[in-house]
Amino acid sequence: MHRLQDRWFALCGIASVAIELVGTFVQMGNKDTHSLTWSSSDAAITAVFSHHATWLVWAGAYLELVSVGLFLVFALWAAAKLGGGLVGSIASGMAIANVAVTLASLALLDTEAYLAGHQVPLASARMLVTLNGATFITTWFLTAFYLLAVGPLALAQGRRIVGWSAVAIAAVTLVSVAADPNGIGQMSALAALLWIVGTSVALARRQPRPAAAPVVAV
């Protein structure tokens, strides 16, 4: 029974990444509101807000919301699977906070899509885009805090690849947000998605048992 549950939870982690990537690329493919960042020029924002959002934007937004729910299932399961306790509770709290801020970011994106084509003043459009950028980058910090919590738990269980990769991605994320959020920061976010996939596979497999010590006859 536990093995079956682990497989389902692992599938949630893998599916969250796949659906997230599909939803993102679907929305950004037509240069609609979801392609804007706080570094976008006034001309780019004006051009995007000058026409209504396409149905692809709403389809992608739906997929991203689904992926958030699947990620939460994975994150809570991984924290419990790796040992739980106080550190696991901290990790779970960071995952819940991450989901809450992510939903706020997606709500801002959907607000932009809804207002596109309705003659929104440039200042208002710029404010929405900037707020979304701020909430989006906040999720990177929460992801890093989650990884810093589950990393030691994984190492304590002898899962070195899962543990050290979590710590490394968290460190790169915290440094890149300050140094180059549009470059290295984006790469660290992609690395976190890959970590979810790899960890889902690792935790779904039966953990190897340590070899029993040989009995010496006296």
What pLDDT does 25 receive?
85
Of the pLDDT bands very low, low, confident and very high (cuts 50, 70, 90), residue 182 is: low
Q: What is the pLDDT of residues 48-63, one digit of tens each?
A: 899 898 888 899 999 9
Confidence category of residue 179, pLDDT binned at 50, 70, 90: confident
The predicted structure's pLDDT at residue 183: 63
Total number of residues shown for the chain: 218
- In the structure, what pLDDT confidence band is assigned to residue 184 with cuts at 50, 70 and 90? low
CA pair distance 33, 44, nearest whole angstrom: 10
pLDDT exceeds 60 at position 215:
no
User: What's the chain's average pLDDT?
Assistant: 88
Average pLDDT over residues 74-80: 96
pLDDT tens column, 193-213:
999 999 999 999 866 444 344
The pTM of this model reads 0.88
Phi-psi region of 56 (alpha: psi -120 to 50; beta: other; left: phi over 0): alpha
Q: Tokens for 96, please give them.
A: 């819940």
Question: Domain-by-domain residue ranges, the chain?
Answer: 2-204
